[in-house]
């Protein structure tokens, strides 16, 4: 059986992507959750994850003797291993667009990511409003995402970005969580998409387990000193 190493569900946006992809697609896997204690050499997290991944980062997928790390590489591997799941769109043009927007998420939107770290349990609308006033780069990222979602939903008819759930939706699921946690304003079509994503069984399961962690990792909490 596949084995997926992840970090805290409340904080780890990188881990959320392949976990939700596997869960929503109905692909069996074993979860290994390694709590974020510290990212310095010698920490338990680095020791455990470093034993299976040379970068000592999550997520990591183990398939027999094969180790795959990096969320996009994992998604590509799963798409190849399970072609019947249509994790990328079957249409060539749509597939190319889905890869493009997933790669854009993978390497871009640094302002949004840096100022709004994923924190599913938190309700930080006042922080969201303040940061939007102070950081024009965050506003640009948010506008780009909302425009992209609206265009894809219009083109493919929803309910997901390319019709049915796939890798692109898994990659933007953490953004949906950020928008909810920080109360960020988006157009109605984007807000409706966020709610549909949150209601997906795979995403709902991640959210439920994130809320159940009842953990507080200080270095992942730039805006709070306690829960």
pLDDT of residue 39: 85
> For residue 220, is pLDDT > 90?
yes
pLDDT of residue 105: 96
Task: Extract the tokens encoding 227.
Answer: 């829960």
Residue pointed to by tokens 């409706």: 192
Query: What fold characterizes domain 2-85?
Result: Glutaredoxin (3.40.30)
CA distance 35 to 44: 8
CA distance 61 to 69: 6
Query: What fold characterizes domain 92-209?
Result: Glutathione S-transferase Yfyf (Class Pi); Chain A, domain 2 (1.20.1050)
pLDDT of residue 24: 98
> For residue 183, is pLDDT > 90?
yes
User: How distant, in Å, are the alpha carbons of 12, 123, 175, 212, 220 from that of 217?
Assistant: 11, 16, 20, 14, 6
Q: Do domains 2-85 and 92-209 have the same CATH topology?
A: no
Q: Which residues contact 101 (CB under 8 A, 6 or more apart)?
A: 148, 152, 161, 168, 171, 172
pTM for the full model? Answer: 0.97
pLDDT in tens, 138-179: 999 999 999 999 999 999 999 999 999 999 999 999 999 999
State which H helix or E strand residue 61 sits in: strand 60-63
pLDDT of residue 35: 95
pLDDT in tens, 18-70: 999 999 999 999 999 999 998 888 899 999 999 999 999 999 999 999 999 99
> For residue 223, is pLDDT > 90?
yes
Domain range list for the chain:
2-85, 92-209
> For residue 227, is pLDDT > 90?
no
Peptide bond into 59 cis (omega under 30): yes
pLDDT in tens, 205-218: 999 999 999 999 99
pLDDT of residue 41: 82
SS3 category, 139? helix
Q: Around 79, how many Cα atoms within 13 Å sit in the side-chain half-sphere?
A: 19
Least Cα distance to 34 among 222, 218, 213, 227 occurs for 213
* Main-chain dihedrals φ then ψ at residue 105, nearest 5 degrees: -65, -40
Q: What angle do CA 11, 12, 16 make, to 5 degrees?
A: 120
Burial (CB count <10 Å: 0-12, 13-18, 19+), residue 138: buried
The beta strands (E) that lie in 138-179 are given as none
**Length, in residues, of the chain:** 227
């Amino acid at each position: 059986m596949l084995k997926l190493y992840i970090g805290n569900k409340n904080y780890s946006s990188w881990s959320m992507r392949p976990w939700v992809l596997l869960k929503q697609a109905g692909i069996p896997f074993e979860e290994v959750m390694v709590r974020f204690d510290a990212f310095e050499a010698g920490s338990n997290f680095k020791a455990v994850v470093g034993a299976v991944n040379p970068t000592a980062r999550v997520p990591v997928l183990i398939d027999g003797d094969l180790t795959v790390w990096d969320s996009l590489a994992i998604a590509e591997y799963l798409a190849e291993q399970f072609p019947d799941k249509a994790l990328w769109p079957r249409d060539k043009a749509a597939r190319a667009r889905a890869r493009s927007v997933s790669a854009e998420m993978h390497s871009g939107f640094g302002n949004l990511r840096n100022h709004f770290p994923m924190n599913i349990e938190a309700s930080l609308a006042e922080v969201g409003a303040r940061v939007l006033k102070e950081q024009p780069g965050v506003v640009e990222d948010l506008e780009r995402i909302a425009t992209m979602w609206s265009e894809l939903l219009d083109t493919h008819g929803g309910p997901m970005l390319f019709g049915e759930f796939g890798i692109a939706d898994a990659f933007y699921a953490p953004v949906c969580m950020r928008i909810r946690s920080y109360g960020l304003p988006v157009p109605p079509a984007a807000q409706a998409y966020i709610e549909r994503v949150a209601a997906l069984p795979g995403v709902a399961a991640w959210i439920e387990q994130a809320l159940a962690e009842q953990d507080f990792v200080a270095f992942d909490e730039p805006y709070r000193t306690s829960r």
